[in-house]
Amino acid sequence: MKPQQLKTIGIIGGMGPHASADLYKKIIAICQKKHNAVQDSDFPCIWLLNLPAEDFDETGVVESTSVQNQLLQAVQKLESLGCDVIIMACNTIHMFWETLRNHTHVPILHIVQETLKQVKQKEMTTVGLLCTETTHKQALYHAPLSKENVHILACNHEERKHLTQIIKNIMSGRHEKSDKEFLEQKAKDFVSQGAEAIILGCTELPIIFPKKEFLCFDSTQILAEAAVDFSFQN
């Protein structure tokens, strides 16, 4: 029997489905490792809404009003299902976080804020950032990290185009050796420029990034840990 009633987790996924599955698997693994979950009843109830979002692709948001409206419907659906907390399996769509949280009574964890907590805890001063075009343009990481006096090393325009293709490959299930090599080399470049760690600011990237070779902040892992902590708290 469970010692407590675990809180229900709602996941807005589908952007993309592979990354959403990775988030779900990480939640399960954390429950097993951190809370010794074994039996089905040891795990929280989880609703995974795989949203087939339109006007959204490997670059990020194509048409913001359309994507925002779809996300609002997803939030309302998860709220109606009785979720106690909502997480979103995509960094880019957190550009709508403020609007979404104002349209629900359910708390929505913020992947960038949760990642920033870890960066501050590790007392980082310089980090390398890998993310989508939209995340870059919206300064979803740049703005809050800069406020904390954390220097950000980012990809240039051509490198971001290459990164976009890598994200598309991962979305399609293609894990190319050359893509892994590009990510590894870019991480080495960041380190040579003074980066103390790499932020994986796109939930597709942890799927193929060589995490064992670098100190990195896996935003998917960080969000999964935050969701589990919320579910198990008294």
Q: Name all domains of the chain by residue range, CATH numbers in brackets.
A: 9-110+222-232 (3.40.50.1860), 112-218 (3.40.50.1860)
Q: How far apart are CA 49 and CA 55, in angstroms?
A: 18
Q: How far apart are CA 95 and CA 113, in angstroms?
A: 12
For residue 58, the model assigns a pLDDT of: 85
Q: What is the dihedral angle through the alpha carbons of 20, 23, 28, 32, rounded to the nearest 10 degrees?
A: 170
Which of 55, 45, 49 has the alpha carbon at shortest distance from 14? 49
The beta strands (E) that lie in 80-165 are given as 85-88, 126-130, 151-154
Which of 119, 183, 125 has the alpha carbon at shortest distance from 155? 183
Buried b or exposed e, range 92-131, using 16+ CB within 10 angstroms: bbbbbbeebbeebebebbbbbebbbebbeeeebeebbbbb
Which residues, 6+ apart, have CB-to-CB distance to 127 below 8 Å? 119, 145, 150, 151, 152, 153, 190, 195, 196, 197, 198, 199, 217
Q: How far apart are CA 53 and CA 140, in angstroms?
A: 20
Provide the residue type at 46 as one letter: I
pLDDT in 10s for each residue of the chain, 234 residues: 345 699 999 999 988 999 999 999 999 999 999 999 999 999 999 999 999 989 888 888 889 999 999 999 999 999 999 999 999 999 999 999 999 999 999 999 999 999 999 999 999 999 999 999 999 999 999 999 999 999 999 999 999 999 999 999 999 998 889 999 999 999 999 999 999 999 999 999 999 999 889 999 999 999 999 999 999 997
For residue 17, the model assigns a pLDDT of: 94
For residue 57, the model assigns a pLDDT of: 83
For residue 4, the model assigns a pLDDT of: 65
Which of 150, 164, 155 has the alpha carbon at shortest distance from 129? 155
For residue 59, the model assigns a pLDDT of: 84
For residue 1, the model assigns a pLDDT of: 35
Contact (CB, 8 A) for 86 and 109:
yes
- What sign has the CA pseudo-torsion 14, 15, 18, 21? negative
Residue with tokens 């097993």: 32
